[in-house]
Amino acid sequence: MKIEDRIPRDRRNDYSKEMAGKRREFLTDKTGETLEYTGQYSIDPAVLPGNIENFIGIVQMPVGIAGPVQINGEYAQGQFYVPLATTEGTLVASYSRGMRVINECGGVTTTVVEQFMQRAPAFLFDNARQARDFGEWVSANFTQISEVAESTSSIAKLQHIEQWSVAKMRYLRFNYTTGDAAGQNMVSKATLAASEWIKQHSPIPCDYLLSGNMDTDKKHSQLNMIHSRGRRVIAEIVLKKDVLRKIMHVDSRMMAKAAVLSNVGARIAGAAYNGPHSANGIASLFIATGQDEANVVESHAGHLSHELLENDDLYLSVTLPSLIVATYGGGTGLPTQKECLNLLGCYGKGKANKFAEIVAATVLAGDISLACAVIAGHWVSSHDRLGRNRP
């Protein structure tokens, strides 16, 4: 690479307005784009180390407020105004409409069931019998392995290790709890220490790769639908038939039939989620609150369940088996992201379960709204009026 093609950097102080300006000037010279709006921002670049490299400015994302929504959770209790960062017209209005239905029906009940974060090294042997015997040794030495792993962090706690043999390989999936952090980097460090200890002390010679790809980091997998990665959280409600008819102009029996059709369609398609659109609410909330946006691919997967009750009210629930969220560390502490978390009372330690419940409640609200819009025939017309279909 030629020297004149290198992106400008300052090893002593790369996070400054001056260096951001130099990089924008460099890009203007290379591409002709002035980056006028990207270069207008209010935060101090000094807060950005650990969040980005080669900083040039800010991409401004519109943020709207949906709600309020009544949540009857174990951690999230009361009414919440939910910040959604999006460029999709109708989205915030749709979620607000679903939240109105939830409120009229007494609120949504939310439950966090469990939380894990994984790293899955693959160990290699000379043959399958060595791999099998190694697995038995790992199980017998779990206490020592967990002590080594947990010595790298004050937060990460090793709960159990899943194991699979394939050919002459043994895949170990380390499952940790990570407090209010998402924890991917935390568990990588812990598992590296544990794997080095295992390699040194195993009676069977072995080598390993820190990730054998069974942790499915930032990839959807059926394994994560069964064994949670992140938080398994459930939001449920009984939709009153009179409320559905009054607000959404939808019959509860028709909504139940539509859910069956959607279940079959999702199964045929092999979709990761059988409801209308969990990713919309999750992505918008993630961007607004400084979550790792790539985790949407794992977090959006789940199950929309329904049951038509004897009185024609409709039980509806969303289960998100692998919702990966954080309220501390990473991008959550950046100024605007912190403000959005504070709107929800969710910034800082001890708030991740509360935030997870709010995310699940938001997903349920969006599914209620979109499902009813499709049934009532308002889906296209609402986008014509508020969204991208406008002439």
Lookup result for tokens 């607004």: 288
Number of other CB atoms surrounding residue 26 within 10 Å: 16
Identify the active-site residue in 14, 25, 88, 133.
Answer: 88
176 forms beta bridges with: 117, 158
The alpha-helical segments, DSSP class H, found in the chain are 17-31, 91-104, 128-140, 142-150, 184-201, 222-226, 241-243, 252-269, 278-289, 296-299, 335-343, 352-376, 379-386
Structure tokens at 242: 């009179």
Check if the beta carbon of residue 180 is closer than 8 Å to that of residue 325: no
Question: Which uninterrupted H or E stretch holds 384?
Answer: helix 379-386
- Return d(Cα 387, Cα 193) in angstroms, integer: 51
Lookup result for tokens 């639908």: 225
Identify the active-site residue in 160, 220, 303, 383.
Answer: 383
Identify the active-site residue in 292, 293, 312, 339.
Answer: 292
- At position 349, the amino acid (one-letter code) is K
383 as an active site residue: the answer is yes
Number of other CB atoms surrounding residue 11 within 10 Å: 5
Distance of CA 18 to the CA centre of its chain: 34
DSSP letter for 273, please: B
Number of other CB atoms surrounding residue 148 within 10 Å: 18
Catalytic residues: 88, 292, 383
